[in-house]
Amino acid sequence: MGFSNPSAEKEQYATPASVAADLLYRAYLHKDLESVCDLGCGTGVLAIGSALLGASAVGVEIDPVSLRTARENASLIGVDVEFIMGDVNSVSLRGIKTVVMNPPFGAQKASAGDGAFLRKAVEIANVVYSIHNLGSEGFIRRTVEPCTIEEIYRIKFPLRRCFAFHSKDVKTIEVELYRIMCRRNGTIRLE
Ligand code: SAH
């Protein structure tokens, strides 16, 4: 199940299954799906997918309605995911190796924007997989410093009509998936 009543202000766009599968498969091949946190988990697709692939997974989300759907989705599928209601600006987590996220792009003024998500992600994890608009590389490089961008993949993102200002049923855009590594003193940081 997706967002029952998506908020444009919070930029609640569910990650399409094809995009979630692409992100998670790459993380799986890199052996990055051990302890995973999905920041801004919405209805939980990335956290639940990580758990299905064997990770211990946590999802953090500010919106209680989405969180309820996320919990229902996890129980329908029969996976164990810890869902926490919280603001990405203030949540504190330990023991996370990997963050997977599709953060708000910051197109709407009221949303926290992807900068806050990126800063929190590199604070709590060693590896980050994150989806952004095309051409975000410079912004991301500056935001995550001293962490580094290891890979950028371009992926197709079928955006389904979910807000009144959307004029087509499906509009396919291209987005960038970033793999970011957080090294401290030249070695990979492990808690
Ligand atoms: N990751 C989900 C949802 C992506 S939409 C998916 O892949 O389907 C971005 C999500 O970030 C929304 O659910 C929105 O409610 C959440 N969000 C926005 N600002 C937030 C904040 N400050 N803290 C936590 N979550 C936030």
Per-residue pLDDT reduced to its tens digit, 90-120? 999 999 999 999 999 765 444 457 999 999 9
pLDDT at res. 161: 74
pLDDT of residue 176: 96
Where in the sequence is the domain holding 171, given as residue range(s)?
Answer: 17-184
The pLDDT value recorded for residue 184 is 58
Q: Does some domain include residue 60?
A: yes
Can you give the length of the chain in residues? Answer: 191
pLDDT the model gives residue 166: 67
Domain contains 92: yes
Cross-strand pairs, 86: none
Tell me which residue of 43, 8, 107 sits closest to 20, measured CA to CA: 43
Does residue 27's CB lie within 6 angstroms of at least one atom of ligand 1?
no
Spatial strand order in the sheet of 170-181: 81-85, 56-61, 35-39, 98-101, 127-133, 170-181, 148-160
User: Is 128 within the bounds of a domain?
Assistant: yes
Model confidence, pTM: 0.91
Ligand 1 contact, 88 CB (< 6 A):
yes
Question: Parallel, antiparallel, or unpaired: how do β-strands 170-181 and 148-160 relate?
Answer: antiparallel
Q: Give the H or E element holding residue 172.
A: strand 170-181
Which residue's C-alpha comes closest to atom 7 of ligand 1?
15
The CATH number that applies at residue 80 is 3.40.50.150
Ligand 1, atom 1, lies closest to the CA of: 41
- Decide if 110 is inside a domain: yes
For residue 188, what pLDDT is reported? 52
Q: Which residues of the chain have pLDDT under 70?
A: 106-112, 162-163, 166, 184-191
What pLDDT, on a 0 to 100 scale, did the predictor assign at position 187?
52
Cα 78 to averaged position of ligand 1 atoms, centre (Å): 23
- Is residue 137 within 8 Å of residue 130, measured between CB atoms? no
Q: What is the tally of structural domains in the chain?
A: 1
Q: Is residue 5 part of a domain?
A: no
Note whether residue 2 is domain-resident: no
> Is 133 inside a domain boundary?
yes
Q: Are the C-beta atoms of 6 and 163 separated by less than 8 Å?
A: yes
Residue type, 173: I
Count H helices, E strands: the chain? 5, 9
